[in-house]
């Protein structure tokens, strides 16, 4: 039973908190110039919100997909604000390509920052290109850029061929006419991880390593990528509990750190003993060549490791999920699947292997991949913080200029952008032919990177092209008909 004084104290504290929250809420509303939108309990991007289910009071991260048809006031607004009543920062969400271009198209000029609290998972191993912004981003980008070349794409094609052959052998698919795969996502994610580990870093990762009981590079990379969030959330004492996964993580994380140290030392020796024009500039070599103790011009050892993991993790989940979704769509749309198979049969006549130069000829398959990326954009949100007031022009609900004030969190909603009914006719349907009109431009000599930048708002590095490289090869190798 509360005594009257304790009761008064509790009521006073409660009232003070309520007044403080009302004041904060009012300030937040003023900060976004009373831009209409959602008023949930928590900001959608903070851990508690992500962990709880999507409801009216907690949009979480599920709302982009779940409410894609009705959000943004039934698509009548190009931008909305989300202001939490209890916890977290307010965020301005963008749902149209035209506003995305105004904001993200001049990211360097208007000085947008990446909110650090959102990059925590990427920062676990060290600073890197994905988590950094401004000058730091420029330093990382300059070092990484030479590794993103046609030579890399060629390597991706070759390694994809080799890995798919290993996969077929290991899974006993070679002499089967019909295959039943329970979890294609698991296979495509592994495939992407092995290929990126081999092409980007020359890590000796075999298909069979990934599921082995022994600790191997492949197995360790897979465990680390699957448990990043848990690693961030679990306090040290939890590792003493009899939980198999945590015990295993406690062995694998230090093992991988040690492995990385040795890999860097070995690569540094190669770099030191090879003429620079003879060096194969894969991503890991570029990173190690730039080692510099102070990290003023080059990278520190921690940043080399940070970038290695950032690339592995940013690349494999996105690519693996996109290819799994592609298989699913092809299985539902048998007519489109027939067209893909006949295109493959035509281009690779006589059963020859895919080579990099074949790439732009797979027009229908490319259209299927783009359409899959449109329906399920694997990087579903891009978040920044403004460092000065910026002005955007919107046309919905009416033509007007909106000021986004300095210090506002601004998020590009990729699901909304790619499902925009004002841009894509029948946005819910998977229609690869909607990409048809862009084919002639590709033939006119446009590079794949330019093509990607123009038609789809995805990965600013052009690295998602890697998944496009993996796509045709894996579809070719799993060439039999796909059924659900
Ligand atoms: C379907 C495949 C992919 C999709 C949909 C995708 C999506 C994205 C998106 C939306 C961003 C922008 C994030 C932001 O600025 O906040 C991004 C950045 C990035 N992605 Fe990808 N990505 C894909 C494949 C890959 C692959 C294969 C790699 C590496 C092997 C990769 C590495 C990166 C890196 C390093 C960045 C940061 C670039 C920078 O800030 O300059 N991505 N990706």
Q: Is the Cβ atom of 45 under 6 angstroms away from ligand 1?
A: no
Q: Is the Cβ atom of 315 under 6 angstroms away from ligand 1?
A: yes
Question: Which ligand 1 atom is the nearest neighbour of the CA of 414?
Answer: 10
Q: Is the Cβ atom of 282 under 6 angstroms away from ligand 1?
A: no
Q: Residue 11 class from Cβ within 10 Å (0-12 exposed, 13-18 middle, 19+ buried)? A: exposed
Q: Is the Cβ atom of 404 under 6 angstroms away from ligand 1?
A: no
Token pair of 133 as six digits = 């912004």
- Which residue's alpha carbon is at the smallest distance from atom 27 of ligand 1? 315
Q: How far apart are alpha carbons 90 and 83 in whole angstroms?
A: 4
Sheet holding 79-82, edge to edge: 37-38, 79-82, 91-94, 409-413, 381-385
Torsion region of 172: left, alpha or beta (phi above 0 gives left; psi -120 to 50 gives alpha): left
Mark 237-251 as b/e (b = at least 16 C-beta within 10 Å): eeeeeeeeebeebbe
Token pair of 137 as six digits = 């981003």
pLDDT at 2: 61
Q: Is the Cβ atom of 112 under 6 angstroms away from ligand 1?
A: no
Helix (H) / strand (E) element for 402: namely strand 400-404
Contacts of 352 (CB under 8 A, 6+ apart): none
Question: How far away, in angstroms, is 91 Cα from ligand 1 center?
Answer: 22
Question: How far away, in angstroms, is 378 Cα from ligand 1 center?
Answer: 9
pLDDT at 118: 79
Indicate the fold that domain 139-379+419-477 takes in CATH.
Answer: Cytochrome p450 (1.10.630)
Q: Is the Cβ atom of 130 under 6 angstroms away from ligand 1?
A: yes
Q: Is the Cβ atom of 129 under 6 angstroms away from ligand 1?
A: yes
Q: How far apart are alpha carbons 48 and 124 in whole angstroms?
A: 20
Q: How far apart are alpha carbons 13 and 19 in whole angstroms?
A: 10
Q: Is the Cβ atom of 464 under 6 angstroms away from ligand 1?
A: yes
- Which residue's alpha carbon is at the smallest distance from atom 24 of ligand 1? 464
Question: Pick from 315, 282, 329: which is nearest to 458 by CA?
Answer: 315
Q: Is the Cβ atom of 325 under 6 angstroms away from ligand 1?
A: no
Q: Residue 50 class from Cβ within 10 Å (0-12 exposed, 13-18 middle, 19+ buried)? A: middle
Q: Is the Cβ atom of 115 under 6 angstroms away from ligand 1?
A: no
Mark 121-155 as b/e (b = at least 16 C-beta within 10 Å): ebbbbbbbbbbbbeebbebbeebbeebbeeebbbb
Dihedral sign, Cα of residue 46, residue 52, residue 55, residue 61: positive
Question: How far away, in angstroms, is 253 Cα from ligand 1 center?
Answer: 24
Q: How far apart are alpha carbons 211 and 218 in whole angstroms?
A: 8
Question: Which ligand 1 atom is the nearest neighbour of the CA of 128?
Answer: 35
pLDDT at 460: 47
Question: How far away, in angstroms, is 450 Cα from ligand 1 center?
Answer: 15
Helix (H) / strand (E) element for 37: namely strand 37-38
Ligand 1 pocket test, candidate residues 122, 304, 318, most atoms within 8 A of CB: 318
Question: How far away, in angstroms, is 319 Cα from ligand 1 center?
Answer: 10
Q: Is the Cβ atom of 475 under 6 angstroms away from ligand 1?
A: no
pTM over 0.75: yes
Q: Is the Cβ atom of 308 under 6 angstroms away from ligand 1?
A: no
- Cβ(31)–Cβ(25) below 8 Å: no
Dihedral sign, Cα of residue 370, residue 376, residue 378, residue 384: positive
Count the Cβ atoms, other than its own, within 10 Å of residue 227.
Answer: 17
Question: How far away, in angstroms, is 379 Cα from ligand 1 center?
Answer: 7
Q: How far apart are alpha carbons 478 and 331 in whole angstroms?
A: 12
pLDDT tens, N- to C-terminus, the chain (484 residues): 667 688 888 888 889 988 998 999 999 999 999 999 999 999 998 888 888 999 999 999 899 999 999 999 999 999 999 999 999 999 999 999 889 889 988 877 888 898 887 777 778 888 898 888 888 888 888 888 887 777 888 888 888 888 888 888 888 888 887 778 888 898 898 888 888 888 888 887 888 777 777 788 888 888 888 888 788 878 889 998 999 899 989 999 999 889 889 999 999 999 888 887 777 778 888 889 888 766 677 888 889 989 888 888 888 888 899 999 999 999 999 999 999 999 988 998 887 888 888 887 888 888 898 899 889 998 889 999 999 999 999 999 999 999 999 999 999 999 999 999 988 889 999 999 887 765 544 545 554 455 455 444 444 444 454 455 555 555 544 444 444 3
Token pair of 379 as six digits = 């990087």
All structural domains of the chain with their residue ranges: 139-379+419-477
- Which residue's alpha carbon is at the smallest distance from atom 30 of ligand 1? 315
* pLDDT tens digits, one per residue of 285-297: 888 988 876 667 7
Question: Which ligand 1 atom is the nearest neighbour of the CA of 130?
Answer: 37
Token pair of 329 as six digits = 């769509």
pLDDT at 437: 61
Question: How far away, in angstroms, is 381 Cα from ligand 1 center?
Answer: 11
Q: Is the Cβ atom of 378 under 6 angstroms away from ligand 1?
A: yes
């Amino acid at each position: 039973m509360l005594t009257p004084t304790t009761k008064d104290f509790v009521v006073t504290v409660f009232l003070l908190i309520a007044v403080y929250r009302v004041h904060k809420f009012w300030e937040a509303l003023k900060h976004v110039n009373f831009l209409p939108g959602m008023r949930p309990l928590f900001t959608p991007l903070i851990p508690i919100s992500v962990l709880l289910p999507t409801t009216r009071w907690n949009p979480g991260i599920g709302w982009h997909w779940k409410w894609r048809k009705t959000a943004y006031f039934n698509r009548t607004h190009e931008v909305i604000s989300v202001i939490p009543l209890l916890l977290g920062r307010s965020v301005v969400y963008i749902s149209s390509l035209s506003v995305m271009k105004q904001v993200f198209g001049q990211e360097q000029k208007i000085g947008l920052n990446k909110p650090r609290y959102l990059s925590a998972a990427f920062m676990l191993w060290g600073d890197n290109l994905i988590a950094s912004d401004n000058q730091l981003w420029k330093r990382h980008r300059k070092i990484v850029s030479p590794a993103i070349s046609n030579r890399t794409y060629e390597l991706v094609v070759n390694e994809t061929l080799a890995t798919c052959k290993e996969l077929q052998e290991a899974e006993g698919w070679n002499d089967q006419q019909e295959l039943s795969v329970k979890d294609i996502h698991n296979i495509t994610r592994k495939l992407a991880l092995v290929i990126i580990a081999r092409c980007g870093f020359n890590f000796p990762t075999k298909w069979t390593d990934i599921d082995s009981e022994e600790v191997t590079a492949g197995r360790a990379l897979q465990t680390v990528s699957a448990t990043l969030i848990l690693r961030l959330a679990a306090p040290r004492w939890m590792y003493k509990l009899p939980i198999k996964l945590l015990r295993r993580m406690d062995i694998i994380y230090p093992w991988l750190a040690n492995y990385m140290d040795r890999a860097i030392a070995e690569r540094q020796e190669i770099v030191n003993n090879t003429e620079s024009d003879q060096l194969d500039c894969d991503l890991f070599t570029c990173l190690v060549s730039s080692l510099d103790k102070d990290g003023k011009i080059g990278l520190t050892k921690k940043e080399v490791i940070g970038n290695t993991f950032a690339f592995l993790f940013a690349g494999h989940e996105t690519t693996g999920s996109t290819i799994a979704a592609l298989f699913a769509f092809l299985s539902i749309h048998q007519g489109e699947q027939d067209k893909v198979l006949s295109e493959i049969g035509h281009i690779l006549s006589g059963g020859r292997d895919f080579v990099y130069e074949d790439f732009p000829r797979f027009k229908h398959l490319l259209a299927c991949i783009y359409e899959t990326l449109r329906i399920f954009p694997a990087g579903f949100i891009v978040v920044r913080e403004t460092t000065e007031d910026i002005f955007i022009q919107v046309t919905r609900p009416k033509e007007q200029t909106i000021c986004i004030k300095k210090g506002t969190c601004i998020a590009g909603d990729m699901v909304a952008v790619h499902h925009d009914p004002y841009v894509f006719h029948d946005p819910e349907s998977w229609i690869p032919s909607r990409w048809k009109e862009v084919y002639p431009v590709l033939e006119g000599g446009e590079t794949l990177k330019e093509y990607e930048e123009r038609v789809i708002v995805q990965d600013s590095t052009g690295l998602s092209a890697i998944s496009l490289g993996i796509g045709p090869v894996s579809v070719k190798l799993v060439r039999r008909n796909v059924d659900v």
